[in-house]
Amino acid sequence: LAATNNAGKLKELRRILERMGHTVVSPKELGLTLDPDETGTTFAENARIKAEAFCQASGLPTVADDSGLCVDYLDGAPGIYSARFAQPGKRRLTVLEKLQGVPAEQRGAHFVSAVCCVFPNGDKIEAEGKCFGTIAFDSRGENGFGYDSIFVQDGRTFGEMTDEEKDARSHRGKAFAEFEEKLR
């Protein structure tokens, strides 16, 4: 079970996990309408909270990802609050507004992804991945979701990259590569 109600994240988790040979179901496909409170103070704690709640409700091995964008100029914000940083649909714009007038050399940022897989017997596998880049001056690209269209690596935003290019270098791609190694 992929423990997410976010359609963009579900698509990415499904793509990555199916490439590893796993069959993935969504909460919606099981009729689950959980939305656990993410009360953790770290990405790892929030991933664990989601994985445990969805595993308990479904009885299935459950993978959760908690991830976010950390902007240097904003002292690491939005960080673990990335999904709640501003109103839905305005999160990227809010980051760009807060960085208005900030020169390129001060726009450093990184993404973090913490993955937790909980099994019905209580076993857990945890992994984390990070990727570093900068924040663009405007939103570019139609691919991905969330902050992808403002996060730049090698002159292109994640929103301008193909799924395969993004998975090869992203925080989530790195976290799931570590997860797959630990799962074996």
Q: Which of 35, 37, 66, 163 is catalytic?
A: 66
CA 35, CA 53: separation in Å to the nearest integer?
Answer: 9
Q: Is 167 a catalytic residue?
A: no
Catalytic residues: 66
